[in-house]
A and B are shown apart, each in its own frame.
Chain A
Amino acid sequence: MKLTRRTFFLGIVSSAVFMVSGQVLKLKPFKPAEIHLLGDGYLSINGWVVSEKELAGDDRLA
């Protein structure tokens, strides 16, 4: 492809867009999980009800 002023300009702009969007994605904070303690050794993580035992690895499902 022939390098013209137009393609050179487009290349600069698209590179800038990639760089900026990459930074935005990096800066987007990780949404923390919503955790509720439910008693009896259970908690919910974003609504999923699991036991502390399972989280610790001492789990019959293993």
Chain B
Amino acid sequence: MIIDLKDSPLDKVKHFDVCIFGAGPAGITLALELAENGVKIGLFEGGSKNFTEESNDIYQSKIVGLQGWFDIMRKRYLGGTSNQWLGRCRPFEASDFELSPLSNLSGWPIKIDEIESYQDKAMEILNLDKNVGFRPFHKGTKDGLFMPDVGLFSDPITRFGVKYREQLIENPNIELYLNANLYDIELNDGHTSVASAKLRSYNGDDSLVKADAFVMAMGGIENARVLLNCDSQVSEGIGNHSGFLGRCFMEHPNVVIGEYLLNEGISGEQKGYDFEFYSSDKLVNDQRLSKGNFTFEQVSDVYSYGKTAAIKSFFKNLSCSLGVDDKVQFISSFKCPGSGKIWTEFEQLPSKNSRVYLSDEKDSLGLRKAIIDWNVTEIDIDSYRRSAIQLAKSFSDSGFGKIRLEPYMLDENAEIPINQHAHHMGTTRMASNESDGVIDSNCKVFGVDNLYIAGSSIYPTSGCGNPTLPIVKFALRLGEHLKSKI
């Protein structure tokens, strides 16, 4: 059943087994998983079936740190940001659940085993071909410091609102509400559980819903913003007893580290694909680095656009025909044929100074808007530089080719331009105890018995793989937990 609250509010308080706020990848996965098992679900989406300015304007925020286009990179309607994602998936690795030696904050309180059993189902949900699987297209560098990456694309790209709309509507255990914005959460007298949730439509009408459990699946920034806004009973916002709510906001910094020339060391199968490397655990542990995912763009273009002659000339001159002085002059004046940028998806260490907090300005619903102060630490920057230099050495030593690093990767005093990947993580971090985070290992908000969080805001550390596949796995895991509780 689908109900649009745009025109009129609910005429009475509705009661469900589980209320889920947000109909993106996490919310829809969880709703379907629970409904399959007979759990009565109220699924509340703030937007409509399709994009509307009215809904997406709710995401307007003030940016005071690094620029991340946080407003336009999120979509607020049925299916959430899956409506515009590129579909790249990568599973977490076992080491992603180990605490980085560089971090001074806590890491995951669970191990990878906790989500591995959901891999097959998550791949099915995300249209990931199990016959192809997560397999490498090359062998990595000879020194074992950089492994081949194993990304896989959703094909066709799973737009959750499109793929699952009919299932949501037809499932007798799901009531899907559109234009239903979570506005406030009312706690019981002791503030130990959620008594009800208030929904607000765009014309200001309010409705009340009750449930045995409430799940916020509204996105990596929005989960924190709405909880911070819930301050009528708890002044610092619900779930913010430790002060971590909204803090440790992480992205996957995208730094263009330079460009490359290929030698002959790539197998035929690689042609037509981006050439990708992933920091090995050996590199991360031995050299004390955060992880990095390095993508060498346009490998097929380098092969096919007639640039091979320039590349061969470069290597010929470098290897044999010139004296040392002439080689230095030759290299210094060499112009790259023009393709083959290397961009990255770096791990960002959690830091309390990178955060989402509230502005005094309010959105059209009356909730305070977000101020997003995304920034990385000096330790991150140092790690990105050292990783890039090591990659250039290992790439050359493996006979793959040559890398030219951008001047800012070599000059410690230069400012590195940092872009983003629209991976918003960490603002309701999972922890083993309430002094280190917002939720426990079951995704339950510390101190509130029936309030849960889904989505990448729960990640205490980010690794450097795309977050959507783990989001779906964690949603399935939360579904299993809630089934046992309801």
Count of interface residues, chain A, beta-carbon cutoff 8 Å: 24
Query: Does A12 sit within 8 A of B, measured CB to CB?
Result: no
B-contacting residues, A48-62, CB 8 Å:
48-51, 54-57, 59-62
Which residues of A have CB within 8 Å of B328? 33, 35, 45, 55
Which residues of A have CB within 8 Å of B334? 46, 48
**Binary contact track A22-52/B, C-beta < 8 Å → 1, others 0:** 0000000000111110101010111111110
CA distance A42 to B405 in the complex (A): 13
CA distance A18 to B81 in the complex (A): 63
- Contact, CB under 8 Å: A49 / B404: yes
- Contact, CB under 8 Å: A56 / B396: no
Which of the segments B313-321, B358-366, B446-454, B455-463 contacts the partner chain?
B313-321
Which partner residue on chain A sits nearest B330 by CB separation?
A: A45
- Contact, CB under 8 Å: A47 / B406: yes
Which partner residue on chain A sits nearest B327 by CB separation?
A: A55
Which residues of B have CB within 8 Å of A50? 318, 331, 396, 402
A-side binding surface: helix, strand, loop or mixed?
A: mixed
- Contact, CB under 8 Å: B402 / A60: no
- Contact, CB under 8 Å: B315 / A61: yes
Shortest beta-carbon distance, B416 to chain A, in Å?
14
CA distance A45 to B318 in the complex (A): 12
Of B258, B324, B389, which contacts A38 at CB under 8 A? Answer: B389
**Binary contact track B164-178/A, C-beta < 8 Å → 1, others 0:** 000000000000000
Shortest beta-carbon distance, B466 to chain A, in Å?
28
Given A44-B410, A55-B324: A49 in contact with B319 (beta carbons within 8 A): no
Range class of the B interface residue count: 20 to 34
Of B331, B404, B406, B410, which contacts A36 at CB under 8 A? Answer: B410
Shortest beta-carbon distance, A55 to chain B, in Å?
5
Which residues of A have CB within 8 Å of B396? 42, 49-51
Shortest beta-carbon distance, A36 to chain B, in Å?
5
A-contacting residues, B15-35, CB 8 Å:
none
- Contact, CB under 8 Å: B402 / A62: no
Shortest beta-carbon distance, B481 to chain A, in Å?
49
Which residues of A have CB within 8 Å of B410? 36, 44, 47
Shortest beta-carbon distance, A22 to chain B, in Å?
21
Shortest beta-carbon distance, B363 to chain A, in Å?
46
Of B319, B332, B393, B405, which contacts A59 at CB under 8 A? Answer: B319
A-contacting residues, B320-340, CB 8 Å:
320, 324, 327-329, 331-332, 334
Which partner residue on chain A sits nearest B320 by CB separation?
A: A62
Which residues of A have CB within 8 Å of B406? 47
CA distance A34 to B318 in the complex (A): 17
**Binary contact track B117-155/A, C-beta < 8 Å → 1, others 0:** 000000000000000000000000000000000000000
Which residues of B have CB within 8 Å of A42? 392-393, 396
CA distance A47 to B315 in the complex (A): 16
A-contacting residues, B369-404, CB 8 Å:
389, 392-393, 396-397, 399, 402-404
Query: Does B407 sit within 8 A of A, measured CB to CB?
Result: yes
CA distance A62 to B319 in the complex (A): 5
Q: A49-B396, A54-B327 are in contact. List 19 more A-B contacts (CB 8 A).
A: A32-B332, A33-B328, A35-B328, A38-B393, A44-B405, A45-B328, A45-B331, A46-B334, A47-B258, A47-B404, A47-B405, A49-B393, A51-B396, A54-B318, A56-B324, A59-B318, A59-B319, A59-B320, A61-B263
